[in-house]
Amino acid sequence: MLKNDLLLRAARGEQTERTPVWLMRQAGRILPEYRALRGRLSGFKELVETPELAAEVTIQPVDALDVDAAIIFSDILVVPEAMGLTYEMVEARGPLFPTTIRSAQDVANLRVADPEEHLGYVLEAIRITKRALHGRVPLIGFAGAPWTILAYMVEGHGSKTFSKARRLLYTDPQLAHILLRKITDTTIAYLKAQVEAGANLIQVFDSWAGILPPAHYREFSTRYITEICEALPDVPVTVFAKGAFFALSDFAQLDCQTIGLDWNQDPRDVRSLIGDAKTLQGNLDPCALYGTREQVQQATLDMLRQFGPHRHIANLGHGVYPDTDPDNVRVFIETIKEFSTLAREEQL
């Protein structure tokens, strides 16, 4: 049914003619057509909550960049909102929760969301996108990892330290677990519904993994990610935990197909910790795309050599920065396609 299923085959460890490539945050401000559409709307949330428009911007990078996957245009923060905690996206500043989680009562007031009732607009965007894609490329669904969602719900906004969220893990670990339980239950139901609506692969974003000590990460994050992976037997799952180098040997045991690497990680080190039974995704430094065309090509080739041809999905080590020149993104993508094809043919 899919004309291009490189991403899914690479995730499952099957042979591919070349390395598949997509970019985290490929749908967004790097594309002039996104900025034009976004400029006509009241804000980010209108785009996220209008399924036809979300579908349109989901497909923009497939047309404009020729990537091997689409990722549904949404945000990880739709989950806390579905649970009863509304977010705002403040222009040029980022997310803000006017009300945050402070007490056992606050946690008790949250609901385990019903995907169709509270997140129906995302599911509808997935259905529309699938129809409009006509099987050109797979569609990636996603959610935040429970720890990262807790971090925003307790902190209320982005932070360098997330000290309010981390403080909770010391002062009231039991309450943290009650909250993580509710987030995990919501997330599992939501991701299953995304798969039912047509998502071909699921990525879990643990953007704030790197701020926890290893023991806390194991207790408050990995165990919930483990549950999420086990709840999704029908599609490949990718776990991207930024900064979680200390968790890699635990990740080797996860029931998932792919581990995402940020740009601080050496692909060869990660391969030796994870073994050959998983695919690795990543991990060019997004800043490498600020170089000249030749520099972008060189950095991309270096990255490809570090991963080797098998079980690799090419990507950046985090989301593409909004002021990146789309032409350099195209150089990154073309270099991967050309070199990885050659490498297969000539066993480079």
Between β-strands 139-144 and 94-96, what pairing exists: parallel, antiparallel or unpaired? Answer: unpaired
Which residue's Cβ lies closest to ligand CP3?
207
* Using rule CB under 6 A, residue 243 touches ligand CP3: no
Query: What single-letter DSSP state applies at residue 157?
Result: B
Question: Nearest distance from residue 56's CB to ligand CP3, in Å?
Answer: 13
| Tokens of residue 344, six digits | 């297969």
* Using rule CB under 6 A, residue 158 touches ligand CP3: yes
Residues 79 to 98: which contact ligand CP3 by CB under 6 A? 89, 94-95
* Using rule CB under 6 A, residue 319 touches ligand CP3: yes
Look up 152 and say whether it is catalytic: yes
Look up 38 and say whether it is catalytic: yes
* Using rule CB under 6 A, residue 210 touches ligand CP3: no
The residue whose two tokens read 């970019």 is 23
Tell me how far apart the alpha carbons of residues 331 and 150 are, in angstroms, rounded to a whole number: 37
Look up 330 and say whether it is catalytic: no
Q: How many residues bind ligand CP3 (CB under 6 A)?
A: 21
Tell me how far apart the alpha carbons of residues 282 and 198 are, in angstroms, rounded to a whole number: 24
* Using rule CB under 6 A, residue 71 touches ligand CP3: yes
> In terms of DSSP H, where are the helices of the chain?
6-12, 32-39, 44-49, 51-65, 78-83, 104-109, 115-118, 120-133, 146-155, 163-171, 173-197, 214-217, 223-230, 248-251, 267-274, 293-307, 326-346
Look up 190 and say whether it is catalytic: no
* Using rule CB under 6 A, residue 187 touches ligand CP3: no
- Residue selected from 16, 26, 184, 238 as contacting ligand CP3 according to rule CB under 6 A: 26
* Catalytically active residues, by annotation: 25, 29, 38, 75, 152
Contact set with ligand CP3 (CB under 6 A) = 24-29, 38, 44, 71, 73, 75-77, 89, 94-95, 142, 158, 205, 207, 319
